[in-house]
Structure 1
């Protein structure tokens, strides 16, 4: 039962008991008023009856005084008193109004009739006195019959007062008893009211209020200190205390939820900060190696509950190739074709498990009876698939909350932009460093790369060989067949050189019809063998332009090596000098540079 109901019932009972107590007190007061009224009535009737007896005596005294003295003044006094009594017709009504009963009024009427008889005798005596018969007059008012009649009047008045006293005493006794009864009842009701009040205080305040409030106060104190781990005491009261406990429980749950949201907001801010720093680092990356280091450092911190792999698209092989991984992913291959991934096919994220059922990608290991809960995020820029971000859950993820897929999409977008930016930068660099006709590196790139190779050679002691090549009689192709034919010859020679150095060498267009090969970690004999292969392959070219065969194409080649022939700073000049000797000795041949201190050529 609710406290309000208990208190209302107690309040209602208290009000009823108070009303009952007040009613009994009013009834007791009414009984006392009746007692006082009865006493007052007796006094009033006593006075009225006493006046009746006194009037009879007074009138008798005036009559006797006139008989004795014969004075006219005494007669006038008698007449005045007699007239007053005759005029007072309301005497009997006053007695009735005062509360006299019928029997009592009857007794008064008897007394008044006796008094009337006395009046008649008094008038007879007065008339006798006027006529001079004083003896008769005296005999009437002073005789024994007159005295007995006067005594009867007094007896009748006494009888009236005796009846009156008995009745009044009975009324007073009854009123006193009723007043005592109502006083006792009022006292009992007051005691019951007090007991009810004490019960309400003891039961409601102590048992239903104080104990639960004491238990809840500790919880409230801890909640006020934002200690939401405080356990709520069990309470099944369906009252205001129960409502209070429910409100505190709701407050605690809201606090826990607010705490959880604050933690999520804190994690969200940390994730956004990591994303922001990652974006800054990606923008500063100059090479793919820098990019993969940034991805491998930041992505595991942003997507903490999952392992993953970064794939980049190899255009030459049309394959997605793994560039880096984190937290040991187990279910995806290190290399696969783009069509093996549904994310790359569709151009959007793909997740075979979760809320939406989907098809697993072919680059995943098939687990009998299970599907890997993987996430594939394509790296797309300018409608071109540049790579793939792959995630899979790790076994010891624990209670870590999942990273929102929005942030994972942001990761993919930023990495896509960074990869696209690097590829564009590399393409621009290649365009700036490459010969547009042959596709080989140009003289500018030679200067940069040669310095690096020579410095590495001095540090590590490895050899560097240079092969200088010049197309024999190149001007003939331009003069006889036109510049387009000359360009065709240069492109084909460039293709031979590019194919010859695919194992680590570098091919450059040195200028005009001259080409240079730089071969790190290749000795003199290896360089000579490669130069001879190149010469033979060029000689084997059969070129046709506009339906006309261009004839034989030959090349003169000079070979130099550092440190076998010259120091690193004079490597290119030594190869160029060997090329000049090849031209002077008949062209279409390979000449090796002269060692420092020697004067003869080596063929």
Structure 2
């Protein structure tokens, strides 16, 4: 029951009991008044009755004294009293007025009439005295008959007094009992009121209000300090304290939810800060190595409970090859076919293992079934890579990476990877000859200066080979430019293979090519030149059903430090090539070891 209901009931009952107590007290006071009134009425009855009796018996006494003493004063007093004596009805009217009952008045009336009859005998006795017959007078007043009449009158008056006293006693007793009963009821009601007050004071105020409020005050104080770990006390009563407890419980749950949201917001802010810094770093990547290092470092911070790999699509072999890894992934190989991954097939995030019921990718160890996620990386509708995450076996209860973070990581890495691919493509277009695939003269200057600086700083040899396809113009004139392009592509392929392990090949212009061979002495450069010359002579190119005939080339070699300063190598090698052409082509000429001016 609610406290307000209990309080209202207690208040109503207290008011009712107070009214009952007050009413009984008033009734008791009225009963006491009736008791006092009955006592006073009895006193008045007794006073009036005594006066009537005295009036009746005083005349007998005066008459008897006169008969005995014959004193005229007694006769005068007798006659005075007889003159003052009224009728019976006049004498009892006062008693009737003060409440005498008819039966009582009838007994009194009979007694008074008997007293009036005695007056006749008294007068007879007085007359006998007047005649001198004292003996007759004494016989009348002191005779047995007179005494019997006197006793009869006395008995009638005594009966009147008995009836009156009995009634007065009954009225007094009834009034006293009513007063006592009402006083007892008033005391009982007062005691119940006090008990009810003490009950309300103890049960409602102390048990139902004070004790729960004291416990709730501690909870409220801790909640005010944002200590939401406090547990509100249990209160099963459906009342205002229960409402307060429920409100505090709801406030605590809201506080816990706010704390959880704040932790999630802080974690989300930290995660987005990491992703933002990762994006900034990826935007500054110049090479795949830079990108791989940034991804491996930030992936460890973003998903510490997961290891993984970054795969890049190698279009030349049509495989997904590892670009980097972090925290030693165990269940996916460094290289696999794109068709082995469901994420690449579907073009969207694919989770398998753990609590997920899904088809595992073929590149994941099927026996272990780890909790893994594959995220495809795409740019302009083309798959360019894959992000792979697998949960550590020790992290059994590690939370899954949120899809929004996975998508942000994938977008960021995809964008950086696409930028690198685009940058490489632009660089290749700007620095690579599209026909032969060799570097062009725009790249030659930067690489030549770098090789020259290294050779001079370290004191290492540097060889330069200038090459020209013999009679290339005749091939163009006879077979067409397409045939000439076929020859140049074939020669470029030979030169690229000749410098695969060390050195760089350039298309210098037209049918001229240049090879830079760092750390190659002249004899080593000559051997490499002879190998290239032999491969070119063995070329057998067919164009539109016709053989293009024998293909030869002329070579000029210059080396540092044999032929002067490294800066003059190009000019020296070009001079040696001119001498090879002058000497009949299809030959190798090494520059003369003399000063740069003579070589020029």
Pairwise same-fold verdict (TM > 0.5): yes
Q: Tell me if structure 2 keeps the 8 A contact 1:566–1:574.
A: no
Q: Tell me if structure 1 keeps the 8 A contact 2:475–2:548.
A: yes
- What are the ranges of 5 or more consecutive residues in structure 1 without an aligned counterpart? 57-67, 69-77, 119-143
Larger mean CA deviation between 31-40 and 534-543 belongs to 31-40
Counterpart residue number, 2:496: 498
Provide the C-alpha distance between the structure 1 equivalents of 2:577 and 2:105, rounded to a whole number of angstroms.
Answer: 175
Pick closer, same or farther for the CA change 1:336–1:52 going to 2, 3 Å.
Answer: same
Provide the C-alpha distance between the structure 1 equivalents of 2:526 and 2:205, rounded to a whole number of angstroms.
Answer: 110
Q: CA deviation at 1:412?
A: 0.8
Pick closer, same or farther for the CA change 1:598–1:191 going to 2, 3 Å.
Answer: closer
Name the SS for the 2:307 alignment partner: strand
1:307-326 matched pairs, under 5 angstroms: 307-326=307-326
1:55-94 matched pairs, under 5 angstroms: none
1:198-213 matched pairs, under 5 angstroms: 198-207=198-207, 209-213=209-213
Q: CA deviation at 1:515?
A: 0.9
Q: Tell me if structure 2 keeps the 8 A contact 1:305–1:402.
A: no
Q: CA deviation at 1:558?
A: 1.4
Write the deviation string for residues 6-34 of structure 1: whole angstroms up to 9, x where unpaired: 76776677567546534543442342343
1:364 matched to 2:385? no
Provide the C-alpha distance between the structure 2 equivalents of 1:13 and 1:474, rounded to a whole number of angstroms.
Answer: 127
Q: CA deviation at 1:527?
A: 2.3
Q: Tell me if structure 1 keeps the 8 A contact 2:305–2:392.
A: yes
- What are the ranges of 5 or more consecutive residues in structure 2 without an aligned counterpart? 57-75, 77-83, 119-139, 142-148
Q: Tell me if structure 1 keeps the 8 A contact 2:282–2:416.
A: yes
Pick closer, same or farther for the CA change 1:40–1:514 going to 2, 3 Å.
Answer: farther
Provide the C-alpha distance between the structure 2 equivalents of 1:515 and 1:218, rounded to a whole number of angstroms.
Answer: 90
Q: Tell me if structure 2 keeps the 8 A contact 1:18–1:190.
A: yes
Provide the C-alpha distance between the structure 2 equivalents of 1:346 and 1:520, rounded to a whole number of angstroms.
Answer: 48
Larger mean CA deviation between 7-16 and 188-197 belongs to 7-16
Pick closer, same or farther for the CA change 1:507–1:408 going to 2, 3 Å.
Answer: same
Provide the C-alpha distance between the structure 1 equivalents of 2:521 and 2:109, rounded to a whole number of angstroms.
Answer: 173
Q: CA deviation at 1:427?
A: 0.2
Name the SS for the 1:492 alignment partner: helix
Provide the C-alpha distance between the structure 2 equivalents of 1:436 and 1:386, rounded to a whole number of angstroms.
Answer: 23
Counterpart residue number, 1:21: 21
1:277 matched to 2:277? yes
Q: CA deviation at 1:541?
A: 2.2
Provide the C-alpha distance between the structure 2 equivalents of 1:406 and 1:543, rounded to a whole number of angstroms.
Answer: 56
How many residues are matched? 558
Name the SS for the 2:363 alignment partner: coil
Q: Tell me if structure 2 keeps the 8 A contact 1:557–1:591.
A: yes
Write the deviation string for residues 468-495 of structure 1: whole angstroms up to 9, x where unpaired: 1111111212222333332332222222
Write the deviation string for residues 55-90 of structure 1: whole angstroms up to 9, x where unpaired: x9xxxxxxxxxxx9xxxxxxxxx9xx99xx99x9xx
Larger mean CA deviation between 425-434 and 190-199 belongs to 190-199
Q: Tell me if structure 1 keeps the 8 A contact 2:564–2:596.
A: no
Counterpart residue number, 2:565: 567
Name the SS for the 2:377 alignment partner: strand
Provide the C-alpha distance between the structure 1 equivalents of 2:597 and 2:472, rounded to a whole number of angstroms.
Answer: 30
Counterpart residue number, 2:346: 346
Q: CA deviation at 1:426?
A: 0.9
Counterpart residue number, 1:423: 421
Q: CA deviation at 1:552?
A: 2.1
Pick closer, same or farther for the CA change 1:456–1:170 going to 2, 3 Å.
Answer: same
Pick closer, same or farther for the CA change 1:156–1:532 going to 2, 3 Å.
Answer: same
Taking only aligned residues, the RMSD between alpha carbons, in angstroms, comes to 4.6
Provide the C-alpha distance between the structure 2 equivalents of 1:101 and 1:567, rounded to a whole number of angstroms.
Answer: 167
Provide the C-alpha distance between the structure 2 equivalents of 1:593 and 1:52, rounded to a whole number of angstroms.
Answer: 186
Pick closer, same or farther for the CA change 1:115–1:568 going to 2, 3 Å.
Answer: farther
Q: CA deviation at 1:228?
A: 2.5
Q: CA deviation at 1:559?
A: 2.0
Q: Tell me if structure 2 keeps the 8 A contact 1:304–1:403.
A: no
Counterpart residue number, 2:392: 394
Provide the C-alpha distance between the structure 2 equivalents of 1:44 and 1:454, rounded to a whole number of angstroms.
Answer: 157
Q: Tell me if structure 2 keeps the 8 A contact 1:469–1:555.
A: yes
Provide the C-alpha distance between the structure 2 equivalents of 1:266 and 1:114, rounded to a whole number of angstroms.
Answer: 123
Counterpart residue number, 1:407: 405
Provide the C-alpha distance between the structure 1 equivalents of 2:20 and 2:291, rounded to a whole number of angstroms.
Answer: 94
Provide the C-alpha distance between the structure 2 equivalents of 1:267 and 1:295, rounded to a whole number of angstroms.
Answer: 20
Provide the C-alpha distance between the structure 1 equivalents of 2:198 and 2:596, rounded to a whole number of angstroms.
Answer: 129
Counterpart residue number, 1:223: 223
Q: Tell me if structure 2 keeps the 8 A contact 1:434–1:442.
A: yes
Q: Tell me if structure 2 keeps the 8 A contact 1:304–1:400.
A: no
Q: Tell me if structure 2 keeps the 8 A contact 1:50–1:157.
A: no
1:578 matched to 2:576? yes
Q: CA deviation at 1:264?
A: 0.9
Counterpart residue number, 2:455: 457
Counterpart residue number, 1:296: 296
Select which of 540, 551, 554 maps to 2:552.
554
Name the SS for the 1:551 alignment partner: coil
Q: CA deviation at 1:331?
A: 1.7
Write the deviation string for residues 142-191 of structure 1: whole angstroms up to 9, x where unpaired: xx99xxx9xx9999899767744542343123212321232133223323
Provide the C-alpha distance between the structure 2 equivalents of 1:51 and 1:277, rounded to a whole number of angstroms.
Answer: 129
Counterpart residue number, 1:589: 587
Pick closer, same or farther for the CA change 1:190–1:398 going to 2, 3 Å.
Answer: farther
Name the SS for the 2:229 alignment partner: coil
1:103 matched to 2:109? no
Name the SS for the 2:350 alignment partner: coil
1:248-259 matched pairs, under 5 angstroms: 248-259=248-259
Provide the C-alpha distance between the structure 1 equivalents of 2:336 and 2:456, rounded to a whole number of angstroms.
Answer: 41
Name the SS for the 1:331 alignment partner: coil
1:171-250 matched pairs, under 5 angstroms: 171-207=171-207, 209-231=209-231, 235=234, 237-238=236-237, 240=239, 244-245=244-245, 247-250=247-250
